[in-house]
Structure 1
């Protein structure tokens, strides 16, 4: 390898190290620059002693200490800085920075108001509850996408391309001639339900393109989006739980004086509150990501063993439920939901892990979790194939079968890479890159279900 190539590899390694350190709590950009200077000095000293660039980098990082320990040390020395991070709009070092933060908050609130007005207009101008529900994602997520486009300064060409792709499923779910189930209370057919439920998945991944600033091919940017999704769930859950308590207490108090808030709740609070909570939660994730990251490792360590126990119980339930042809269809659907939940937990765990740390007990636990998920997926897949062989293909069975195959490939290769990591034959970066490289597969599958399944199965 030439000296120039070695230099490029070293710079890539330092970029990854800097990106990870930048996400640590209480470490400011100035601190990161100072630490990087120290790292480069150590690499230069080691290089002068005869080590090549890669060896010098690994030794220098090791001598600088564990990044979690470095983060804790900075937090102890700069506790006032951590407190400032928790303030709604932190005080900036200069007026321009403070103005920028207030402007960003103003843009977020404007987008939240716009999303609320769009939902209100949807519910007042579109007849039919089904038509309203299937279009909620198409009127809310564009405002979140617009905020990301503004914040990341995404080019107009990228925004136009994303909007054009998003328009395709929007037109499909509204213009396809879906058939309703016969009976006194007609309901949407299975292809309609599949299209309605998979369209938001495709739309959300398109929002991820704007979250990456249009650099959707970048592994680091896609991993940031994975991290964003996990942290968004945390913030959104906290906001929703707090809102439920607040609204419940308000209803209870006003009910004592014969004030009925239900019309206001249905006509105004829900249309504006739900999309507003999504936009505000997204802004909080972007503004306070270094603080939330401290919660992520704790959550993953708590829920990983619990998820492993849940999968073991699910596997037993599938195996003792009689012949695979008699396994309840709702149980198989529930198994798919659980596998998706486990996949999210795996992605979030990987995104929150120190990539420089050695394999430990928790990594073996995650490997066991993936192995249990594979066992459940294999049994569920066998049950689906058995049912299809006996009763034939339907839209619902084909969608479930396809999702299981997509999950199977994801989990199998994840397990293979994790085995290599815990045995010390593969770097952790290989596991990270596989997770982000596989994300477009889910977008493709969601697009197939939305666009191809309805005409393929006669819109029934």
Structure 2
């Protein structure tokens, strides 16, 4: 098929995907039927664009398709704000209760695993570096159960995840001396990058094993942003309730701290993660209404923040004197901007024409590129003067990975706001680049420690 027809199919897919009654899997099935009809019509002598128009017409009215799906699959409509429907007489009620029960079982399993790890391990750093390997498998297991992932897919995913687990536990990382020994820089880098790799591996199971599907990768991006939102709300609410409870009990002479350390934290943290994930899946309609508002609120704020950071970097004297902690903070801000970009793209209507917000987003990416360029220059200057170290190399690599992502995003966004390419191209680039972050995290976890002598 020609590029023009592929763009039209992208627009058609985005139009169908906006119908809440049609799931991502159904969209892909309908797209397969559409492509088959186009191929048949082309074989009968029509050109590609004519075949596309005729095939779409024969697919029927999409609004009627949406209403038909709504009647046949009412459990896919997330219109209620309560956790579980009051009536169980429909087909969706028992399924929701079963899904809730399975989620609670996985949450309890994760809490028990954390509690067992904390009981068996006295070293705080051993506990911290294994925490992600203990909790995320239960979330990944819930993904595999919910998506009915084939056993070969989850078996291969588990085998790949075992590699960084063995690395962080078997590598002979050096520790600093003193009364409070701490891991060296390669150990810290491995501990902090391993969860990134694990999260993207969990994303393979979230897609049902079909990681090559753009739509399912974008669903995972959207899920990640919404999960962070729900998790933040749960944590803030829990902190308020715990603070009030601890205050009341302290007046009565009851110390809540031992209970919190021994039971509440081991079960509450993993439980909050699993509950937040379940809420994202169960309350999609609620979050979809909030997501566009949040992106429009935080995008201009992030732009102002980036411009202020750029001024600070430029007026802070020679680049060799830029504080290392400041560069680390700049990297954290750039990663935050990247998350905002991904979430904004996932929340946008792909068929809507370019608007003011798209220009604002382009300005945000441009500001991020400027900050990245200054930070890269400072890093290269410091490396040229003081030499390579594990943390400098990791920071340099991350900035280069971010640079490629942001440069091409800016190019695609500029083409979109000028009407030269569809938004689908911007959207596809965001998900197509995700494996690069997984590859870089794997390099930091597996390659950096031996290269830098485990120091």
TM-score, length-normalised on structure 1?
A: 0.86
Quote the residue 2:40 is aligned against: none
Does 2:286 align with 1:323? no
Secondary structure in 2 aligned to 1:87? Answer: coil
Q: Structure 1 CA distance, aligned partners of 2:351 and 2:242?
A: 45
Quote the residue 1:77 is aligned against: none
Instruction: Give 1:413-432 correspondences, 5 Å limit.
Output: 413-432=408-427
Does 2:170 align with 1:175? yes
> What is the CA deviation profile of residues 178-203 of structure 1, one whole-angstrom value per residue up to 9, with x for unaligned ones?
00123343211000000000000000
Quote the residue 2:19 is aligned against: 21
Count of matched residue positions in the alignment of Structure 1 and Structure 2: 426
Q: 1:105 to 1:64 in 2, by over 3 A?
A: closer
Quote the residue 2:218 is aligned against: 223
- 1:28 Cα deviation from its structure 2 partner: 8.1
Q: 1:419 to 1:11 in 2, by over 3 A?
A: closer
Aligned counterpart in structure 1 of residue 229 of structure 2, from 227, 234, 238: 234
> Is this contact kept in 2: 1:417–1:430, CA < 8 A?
yes
> Is this contact kept in 2: 1:84–1:91, CA < 8 A?
no
Does 2:100 align with 1:102? no
Quote the residue 1:359 is aligned against: 354
Aligned counterpart in structure 1 of residue 453 of structure 2, from 442, 455, 458: 458
Runs ≥4 residues deviating over 3 A: 5-16, 51-59, 81-84, 91-96
Quote the residue 1:185 is aligned against: 180
Q: 1:202 to 1:252 in 2, by over 3 A?
A: same
> Is this contact kept in 2: 1:347–1:435, CA < 8 A?
yes
Aligned counterpart in structure 2 of residue 159 of structure 1, from 154, 177, 183: 154
- 1:18 Cα deviation from its structure 2 partner: 1.6
Quote the residue 2:41 is aligned against: none
> Is this contact kept in 2: 1:10–1:53, CA < 8 A?
no
Quote the residue 2:42 is aligned against: none
Instruction: Give 1:74-223 correspondences, 5 Å limit.
Output: 84-91=79-86, 94-223=89-218
> What is the CA deviation profile of residues 272-295 of structure 1, one whole-angstrom value per residue up to 9, with x for unaligned ones?
001000000000000111211110
Q: Structure 1 CA distance, aligned partners of 2:172 and 2:5?
A: 59
Does 2:341 align with 1:350? no
Q: 1:247 to 1:11 in 2, by over 3 A?
A: same
Q: Structure 1 CA distance, aligned partners of 2:98 and 2:62?
A: 38
> Is this contact kept in 1: 2:362–2:410, CA < 8 A?
yes
Q: Structure 1 CA distance, aligned partners of 2:385 and 2:306?
A: 27
Quote the residue 2:260 is aligned against: 265
Quote the residue 1:288 is aligned against: 283
Secondary structure in 2 aligned to 1:381? Answer: helix
> Is this contact kept in 2: 1:7–1:53, CA < 8 A?
no
> Is this contact kept in 2: 1:111–1:143, CA < 8 A?
yes
Q: Structure 2 CA distance, aligned partners of 1:322 and 1:334?
A: 17
Q: Structure 1 CA distance, aligned partners of 2:275 and 2:295?
A: 24
Unaligned runs of at least 5 residues, structure 1? 41-50, 75-80
> Is this contact kept in 2: 1:208–1:225, CA < 8 A?
yes
Unaligned runs of at least 5 residues, structure 2? 35-48, 71-75
TM-score, length-normalised on structure 2?
A: 0.87
Q: 1:264 to 1:86 in 2, by over 3 A?
A: same
CA RMSD of aligned residues (A): 3.0
> Is this contact kept in 1: 2:227–2:277, CA < 8 A?
yes
